[in-house]
Structure 1
Amino acid sequence: MTFTPTKTLADQVRADFPILNQEVNGKPLIYLDNAATSQKPLLVLNRLRDYYEQYNANVHRGAHTLSAKATDAYEATRDKVAKFVNAASRQEIVYTRNASEAINLIAYSWGMSNLQPGDEIILSVMEHHSNIVPWQLVAQKTGAVLKFVELTSEETFDLEQFKTLLSEKTKLVSTVHVSNTLGCINPVQEICALAHEYGAKVLIDACQSVPHMPVDVQQIDCDWLVASGHKMCAPTGIGFLYGKFKLLESMPPFFGGGEMIAEVFLDHSTYAELPHKFEAGTPAIGEAIALGAAIDYLSSIGMDKIHAYEAELTAYLFEQLQQIPEIRIYGPKPDANGEGRAALAAFTSGEVHANDLSTLLDQEGVAIRSGHHCTQPLHRFLGLPGTARASLSFYNTREEIDVFIKALKDTLEFFGGLFG
């Protein structure tokens, strides 16, 4: 891939995303729902198709040529993931269906084995349901206690309150790296350092950070990190768990079945070495191979370049939204360069319900998200039934933001006439 300095990043990659070249309701598609799922470039689509057309076979189990080729491609992605997040070893990368499954794996494998009555788990009020519900279930079964970090006046992670929650009882801290609603970038490196002073483990939900910025698990020093492929230009049905080697080694299997065993007897079984101990059954082979293609694609652009361009878009989006009096955006404001938060804006618009807003914008070809974004506790904390959310990616343009803003103003004017 060759990049031309005089063109924006979006100009140079748009042709790689055929889905963007279509009309919705008679209008050119403006896709601003990237925090829910990203679009997929041709490299990823072709790699997935190549697997099914050319070497579809089960991995690890066959001595024939197709199986060997599938296994090589499948395991090559593991190396790519490890390099992408700077894991110390490929054995620290476990394939999962998604980040939700990865969190459940930790909750049931480590949590059920290590948590005792009275032990404390610290989460935050901004967590995705996937990082709340598994810990609720584990707490109910083990007697562990959940505690929650609240928000600062800028609607960010309250680090000072977090410090007051930490104690010798703290066994786990599990928090999002970037909030999918507030857009705040949490100080995960400092969170890890503080938690480790008390001997607590730390899990980072990196679904909204890994696709948009460089992420280094060794620098963060987290114990686990999870991400979903579908938010980083890969297919659905594939995600990954990073875990420190010794910690993963100490954890019992979560699923039982083929692939995760060394030997099976009628009365007992022995388990495979990492990472296969946690990968029971036939995996999402094509999807994993396509995840490798997505990492190749993102790496060819450069995560620093992606982050810088999305920051420019963020600055422009906020500049335009802040000119609309009815709009209230949640989370911290970006600086003049768009830094300091993610490339998304969750907002309310006066008396107009987010679902109504999203429906009318869709008639103009603009796709945004509405609702609670799987963060119901956060919306209750903020006293909101829901928000509308526009979320950007590196293939979006300023011109698309202009179309969105015009459609948003027209929609609000329409509702203003009704309410007026």
Structure 2
Amino acid sequence: MTAHAPIAAPLDLRGQFPAIGPGWHYLDSAATAQKPQAVIDAITTAYARDYATVHRGVYQRSAEMTGRFEAARAATARFIGGQPDELVFTRGATEAINLVAQRFQNGTRKRVLVSQLEHHSNIVPWQLAGYALDVVPLSADGRIDLDAAERMASEDHAVIALAHVSNVLGSVLDAPRAAQIARKAGAALLLDGCQAAPRLPVDVAALDCDFYAFSGHKLYGPTGIGALWGKADRLADMAPWQGGGAMIDRVTFAETTYLDAPARFEAGTPHIVGAVGLHAAIDWVEGIGRDRLHAHEAALAAAAREALRAMNDVTLYGPDDSAGIVSFNVDGVHAHDVGTILDDAGVAVRAGHHCAQPLMDHLGVAATARASFAAHGGPDDVEALVDGLKRVKRIFR
């Protein structure tokens, strides 16, 4: 392996992840995180011993599970500095952004300001809802250019919708400044927190956003559960999106009235055990500390960038202080081929457009390979990545 500075990676958590066996290096946490045993146990127990419906049953187990479900809501809200009545459970960040796109209204404004690096889930929902998009460019090192955003933001924009952390470049948004820009323009600020929530301390009050969306499965929790946090007045002004049980006050054939938020946005039986698993994941992350997690992952990403920069014919994307994410290409080799050869070497990375095709167009590439680090990562992951890329170069040279 190419020599580089020692990796400051003090966490030793791999033993808590049963899916990560010897000789396998999982570097795709930006897509979905592996689950620690504590989360797996919480999910198993909830199904095997404690399961019942919520909000409907008068029997004891239903009441107990309802308590656990609402405790998960309170913990999820507290995790990002919000209140329980501001926290809507969704299937994930995608559904959360779709909910806002379909139901939030800001007068007659029909434009949304997004950036060049957004995930498709922060592009397509706005298009489906009939908004026109204006695109903020990036700085040379892959950050959202907020100077340009300030010049572009206007009274025509209903929402400014930006990634808190890029899922491709790992660049971190100056969210408080984005909030100032939104306030000046009279727009709401929505932050896609999928990559930020698992690793950065998040306080929605300090960020001064109007909406914050994130997914449980990237936060070491189960799939199919996520959250939309919204300021209470914003949620109160939004009509229900889907109809059914649990979100109603009274139903007649002539008229239906609805419950207040968050219940009005949670039609049907929710992902009960998903919420329990998300609560367990949040407890696990908070037990370690997001400051420690961020420092750990950032150190591994920095070491990987240093090692890859020293290799000939490897192009890196994004800023040097990327938040646990390293996207790259090997010159003359398609990212899919890189990913396949790395897989043969026991290294799992993502290869493709990462649901960010406009960003790929901006970078002038069809795809990139992406290594993303997590709590269970260690120096050996960086070494395996570099050794795997040496194999790629041997095969294609």
- Deviations along 1:255-307, one digit per CA (max 9) or x if unpaired, are 10000011111111111122111000000000110100000000000111111
Mapping of residues 66-215 of structure 1, within 5 Å: 66-87=61-82, 89-110=83-104, 113-114=105-106, 116=108, 119-139=110-130, 144-215=131-202
The answer on whether the counterparts of 1:261 and 1:272 sit within 8 Å (CA) in structure 2 is yes
Q: Which amino acid aligns with 2:342?
A: L
Matched, 1:48 2:67: no
- Deviations along 1:320-364, one digit per CA (max 9) or x if unpaired, are 111112111111123xxxxxx211111111000000010011011
- Deviations along 1:232-261, one digit per CA (max 9) or x if unpaired, are 000000000000001101100011000001
- Deviations along 1:145-181, one digit per CA (max 9) or x if unpaired, are 3100011122211111111111222221001011011
Q: Which amino acid aligns with 2:341?
A: L
Counterpart of 1:402 (choices 379, 383, 390) is 383
The alpha-carbon distance between structure 1 residues 47 and 382, as it changes in their structure 2 partners (threshold 3 A), is same
Q: How many angstroms does 1:16 deviate by?
A: 1.0
Distance 2:340 2:313 in 1: 18
Runs of 4+ in 1 over 2 A off after TM superposition: 7-10, 113-116
Mapping of residues 15-414 of structure 1, within 5 Å: 15-22=15-22, 28-87=23-82, 89-110=83-104, 113-114=105-106, 116=108, 119-139=110-130, 144-334=131-321, 341-414=322-395
The answer on whether the counterparts of 1:9 and 1:395 sit within 8 Å (CA) in structure 2 is no
Question: How many residues align structurally?
Answer: 390
Distance 2:106 2:184 in 1: 18
Partner SS state of residue 123, structure 1: strand
The answer on whether the counterparts of 2:341 and 2:391 sit within 8 Å (CA) in structure 1 is no
Q: How many angstroms does 1:107 deviate by?
A: 0.6
Partner SS state of residue 144, structure 2: coil
Distance 2:392 2:124 in 1: 36
Q: Which amino acid aligns with 2:48?
A: E
Distance 2:141 2:27 in 1: 24
- Deviations along 1:216-238, one digit per CA (max 9) or x if unpaired, are 10000000000000000000000
Partner SS state of residue 19, structure 1: coil
Q: How many angstroms does 1:115 deviate by?
A: 5.7
Partner SS state of residue 18, structure 1: coil
Distance 2:347 2:9 in 1: 21
The answer on whether the counterparts of 1:175 and 1:203 sit within 8 Å (CA) in structure 2 is yes
1:4 match: none
Q: Which amino acid aligns with 2:146?
A: L
Distance 2:149 2:184 in 1: 13
Distance 1:247 1:42 in 2: 37
Distance 1:292 1:398 in 2: 30
Distance 2:315 2:173 in 1: 21
Distance 2:102 2:10 in 1: 42
Distance 1:109 1:159 in 2: 27
Give 5+ residue unaligned stretches, structure 2.
Answer: 1-7
The answer on whether the counterparts of 1:9 and 1:394 sit within 8 Å (CA) in structure 2 is no
2:4 match: none
The answer on whether the counterparts of 1:103 and 1:134 sit within 8 Å (CA) in structure 2 is yes
The answer on whether the counterparts of 1:259 and 1:281 sit within 8 Å (CA) in structure 2 is yes
Distance 1:160 1:296 in 2: 38
Distance 2:110 2:29 in 1: 37
The answer on whether the counterparts of 2:9 and 2:379 sit within 8 Å (CA) in structure 1 is no
Partner SS state of residue 76, structure 1: helix
Partner SS state of residue 171, structure 1: strand
Q: Which amino acid aligns with 1:148?
A: V
The answer on whether the counterparts of 2:149 and 2:181 sit within 8 Å (CA) in structure 1 is no
Q: Which amino acid aligns with 1:398?
A: P
Distance 1:369 1:379 in 2: 14
Q: How many angstroms does 1:80 deviate by?
A: 0.5
Distance 2:367 2:388 in 1: 20
- Deviations along 1:9-35, one digit per CA (max 9) or x if unpaired, are 442x2111001125xxxxx11000010
Q: Which amino acid aligns with 1:279?
A: E
Distance 1:58 1:307 in 2: 36
Q: Which amino acid aligns with 1:47?
A: A
Distance 1:344 1:236 in 2: 21
Compute the TM-score of the two structures, normalised by the length of structure 1: 0.91
Q: Which amino acid aligns with 2:120?
A: H
Q: Which amino acid aligns with 1:127?
A: E
Partner SS state of residue 129, structure 2: helix
Partner SS state of residue 282, structure 1: coil
Q: How many angstroms does 1:184 deviate by?
A: 0.7
Partner SS state of residue 342, structure 2: helix
Q: How many angstroms does 1:48 deviate by?
A: 0.6
